[in-house]
Amino acid sequence: TTHLSEVIRTHAHEFIGRQEIQELLDNVKKSHPKVVDELVPNLLSLGGVVRVLKNLLAEQIPVRDLLTILERLADWAPRVKDLDLLSEYVRQGLARTITHNYMAGGTLYALTMGQRAEAKLNEGIHRSERESYLALDPSIARRIMDSLAAEMPRFAGLNQRPVVICSAQVRPHFKKLADRFIPNLVVLSYNEILPETKIQSVGVVELSDAN
């Protein structure tokens, strides 16, 4: 049962589609009709809402607080057309949930991103109105991933789930890069962590020395 629950939680984004999301929207509409009517389809299509919710579920972010998610979408959809970037703004609106998910005893234990690595990642991001992607020199990507891999054993001694914290600008792109080497690694941005959170850095992800 535990294994099945983990499988469902990990792959929830694959099980949900337009019909399921429409039913969720219909339920919210009963109590908050203006929120739903303003958002869909005036500001965002049903497909766009589905994409954002799938993005959240893919990283195991709970979507139970659907009202907050929809209100956040209504705030940002007029200005942001990139659905992945829109998902990042929604994540920031769920800061309390995200923070509590990964805290242990009032402290968030995490690796932090070094300045050089952060700068290289930021330089490699190509942005347009509707999408952004990371085009990073393979040797630079390998050196950052080597540093990440070298720091990961630190969490074993703390008996904590590995978490990496970086800026909001590079978070989704670093997440996609890291997933190719360490699937399901938790990557958070400072913007989605409550300001009063005690963050304990257990190491730094940096550009490792070139061979």
Secondary structure (DSSP) of 77-113: TTT---HHHHHHHHHHHTHHHHHHHH-BTTEEEEEEE
- Look at residue 7 in the predicted model and tell me its pLDDT: 44
Predicted pLDDT at 104: 86
70 to 20, 64, 116: CA distances (angstroms): 15, 11, 36
**Stated pTM of the model:** 0.88
Computed on alpha carbons and rounded to an integer, the radius of gyration of the chain in Å comes to 18
pLDDT in 10s for each residue of the chain, 211 residues = 344 444 445 555 566 788 999 999 999 999 999 999 999 999 999 999 999 999 999 999 989 899 999 999 999 999 999 999 999 999 999 999 999 999 988 999 999 999 999 999 999 999 888 889 999 999 999 999 999 999 999 998 888 899 999 999 999 999 999 999 999 899 999 999 999 999 999 999 998 776 5
Do 88 and 204 form a contact (C-beta atoms < 8 A)? no
Distance CA 89, CA 69 (A): 9
pLDDT confidence of residue 14: 60
Beta strands in the chain, from DSSP E residues, in sequence order: 107-113, 125-127, 132-134, 163-166, 186-189, 198-205
